[in-house]
Amino acid sequence: MTMLAETITERRRQTRNSIYQYMFFSDTPHSKQEIAADLSLSLPTVHQNLTELIEAGLVRRDGTQQSTGGRRAMRLTIAENAHFAVGISVTEDSLRFLAANLRMHEIAYKKTSRLAINEIDDVGSLLADELEIFLDEYGLNRSKLLGVGIAVPAVFDAESQEIALAPTLRLKDINLHHITRHLHYPSYVSNDATSGGYAEWFTQPAQKNMAYLSLENGVGGAVHLNGAPYEGDNRRSGEFGHMCVEPNGLPCKCGKRGCLEAYCSAARISDDLGITLEDFFEGVALHNRTYEELWRDVLSHLAIGINNIRMALDCNVVLGGFLTQFIEPYLSELRQLAASLNTFESNSNYIKLCRYPKRASTLGVALYFIKEFMENI
Ligand SMILES: [Zn+2]
């Protein structure tokens, strides 16, 4: 192919991609006229590209709408079930599988029964076997599967591709290849909180800068700056759980003392008191003094951590992870605590609650393949 022909082909691909992305990020279907006007393209160009996308099964008709002239204009949207991706979350006692379509809607979900992951010799075989069972159980068409993302509560060594630290899983020095080698599909491994932050950030495209603080049995996070994930030099950005919020404080699973994770993880509540989070928050609401004291201590250390993140990054701090579903009644108190620490601001409205408190990391790691697909059409 000549250079000129290549340029023309690439320009045509970009036009088709811009049309697809426009529809991908729209919540409502659009007519060809609307697409042409909004993207400043000619109607024949839009028509030709949409015809190709419809023939490829990637765009579909979605009813009709009355145009101003009285003629009915066809409305179009992406064919959300043309493909799907799978996210797998590995935690210390379970595997969670989630299949998401191109609209990032959950089409299947399964949590395995209790497992002790740190006692399993070959996590890779287990994942591959359980994945096949999941696909069969839900009748998912393997030919439509874009890829499999795996979210692990671990810090990776970027050079050796090994798990450098996984305090809650107690896995160390395992190569990522060990986890993915038996899978028959494209695969990707990511830190769980990074994946959760990715899901939150991707579904709110207007938010250019965002710090995500994940509160689960471990505490982690993710940073997105200028509309892109910021991973850091060693893929360790957003490791907010191991910021020191109390010198010589409570011991942390990482081996240090006084980390935010030691104070604000869901595990602190369930380990200290031996009760479920539901029971704990019921007790707090009923003013059980022991529960209330522990919760005040969690909130005050959380405020320190959040204020430090705000000071370092000057952006919204989105609280995620399963603990977040219980925080709303205490959000104004948390905001006041954080504001009282802040040098520049009298309110802390920059503290937000996440959209996906439950399955953010599993969805986020699947999203990796959906985004890749959407960008390369
Ligand atoms: Zn720590």
Give mean pLDDT, residues 348-363: 90
Encoding tokens for residue 16?
């088709």
Task: Give distance in angstroms: CA of 219 to centre of ligand 1.
Answer: 9
Q: In the chain, where does the domain assigned CATH 3.30.420.40 lie?
A: 84-198+360-376, 204-353
CA of 296 to the centre of ligand 1 (A): 20
Tell which CATH classification among 1.10.10.10, 3.30.1490.190, 1.10.3450.40, 2.20.28.90 matches the domain 3-78: 1.10.10.10
**Residue 299 CA to ligand 1 centre (angstroms):** 18
Q: Is the pLDDT of residue 307 over 90?
A: yes
> How far, in Å, is the centroid of ligand 1 from the Cα of 236?
13
Lowest mean pLDDT among 112-116, 195-199, 224-228: 112-116
**Burial grade of 278 (CB within 10 A; 0-12, 13-18, 19 or more):** exposed
- How many Å lie between the centroid of ligand 1 and the Cα of residue 275? 23
Alpha carbon of 90 to ligand 1 centroid (Å): 20
Q: What is the 3-state secondary structure (H, E, C) of 308-365?
A: HHHHHHCCEEEEECHHHHHCHHHHHHHHHHHHHHCCCCCCCCCEEECCCCCCHHHHHH
Ligand 1 centroid – CA 246 distance (Å) = 11
pLDDT value at position 65? Answer: 54
Q: Give the tokens for residue 254.
A: 């990482």
**Distance in Å, CA 259 to ligand 1 centroid:** 5
The HSE-up count of residue 140 (CA atoms within 13 Å, CB side) is 27
Confidence at residue 37, expressed as pLDDT on a 0 to 100 scale: 95
Count of alpha carbons within 13 angstroms of residue 150, beta-carbon side: 25
Of all residues in the chain, what percent carry a pLDDT higher than 70?
93
Task: State the distance from the centre of ligand 1 to the C-alpha of 95, rounded, in angstroms.
Answer: 24
Q: Which fold has domain 84-198+360-376?
A: Nucleotidyltransferase; domain 5 (3.30.420)
Q: What is the pLDDT of residue 68?
A: 56
Q: Give residue 260's Cα distance to chain centre.
A: 21
Q: How far is the CA of 239 from the centre of ligand 1 (A)?
A: 9
3-class SS of residue 144: helix
One-letter amino acid for residue 118 of the chain: N
Instruction: Reduce the DSSP state of residue 368 to 3 states and report it.
Output: helix
The rounded Cα 274 to chain-centroid distance in angstroms is 29
91 alpha carbon to ligand 1 midpoint, in Å?
18
Percent of the chain topping pLDDT 90 = 64
Looking at per-residue confidence, does 167 or 21 come out higher? Answer: 21
Q: Which residues are close to ligand 1, an ion, with C-beta < 5 A?
A: 242, 252, 254, 256, 259
Higher-scoring residue by pLDDT: 205, 283: 283
Q: What is the mean pLDDT of residues 227-249?
A: 91
Burial class (CB in 10 A: 0-12, 13-18, 19+), 301: buried
Q: Which pLDDT score is estimated for 64?
A: 55
Distance CA 355, CA 208 (A): 16
In the reported structure, the alpha carbon of residue 223 is separated from the centroid of ligand 1 by a whole-number distance in angstroms of 19
Angle between helices 289-313 and 266-273 (to 10 degrees): 160
The rounded Å distance from CA 201 to ligand 1 centre is 25
d(CA 304, ligand 1 centre) in Å? 15
Residue 52 has pLDDT above 80, yes or no: yes
Q: Answer yes or no: are the C-beta atoms of 197 and 210 closer than 8 Å.
A: yes
DSSP structure string for 55-76: HTTSEEEEEEEE-TTS-EEEEE
Fold (CATH) for 204-353: Nucleotidyltransferase; domain 5 (3.30.420)
283 has a pLDDT exceeding 90: yes
pTM equals: 0.82
Average of pLDDT values for 264-288? 92
Question: What sign does the dihedral 291-294-299-305 (CA atoms) show?
Answer: negative
What is the residue-averaged pLDDT of the chain? 89
The Cα–Cα gap between 321 and 212 comes to 10
User: What is the predicted pLDDT for the residue at 168?
Assistant: 66
- Which pairs with CB-CB distance under 8 Å and at least 24 residues apart come from 92-98? 92/116, 92/117, 92/118, 92/153, 92/168, 92/169, 92/170, 92/217, 93/117, 95/126, 95/127, 95/130, 96/359, 96/362, 97/130, 97/131, 97/134, 97/362, 98/359, 98/362, 98/363, 98/366
What are the helix (H) ranges across the chain?
A: 3-24, 32-39, 43-55, 123-137, 176-180, 192-202, 260-264, 266-273, 277-285, 289-313, 331-341, 360-376
Asked if residue 51 lies in contact with residue 19, where contact means CB atoms within 8 angstroms, the answer is no
Mean pLDDT confidence for 198-227: 88
Compute the average pLDDT of residues 6-20.
89
For residue 5, the model assigns a pLDDT of 76
Q: What would the two tokens of residue 164 be?
A: 């450098």
Tokens of 43: 């109607």
203 CA → ligand 1 middle, Å: 30
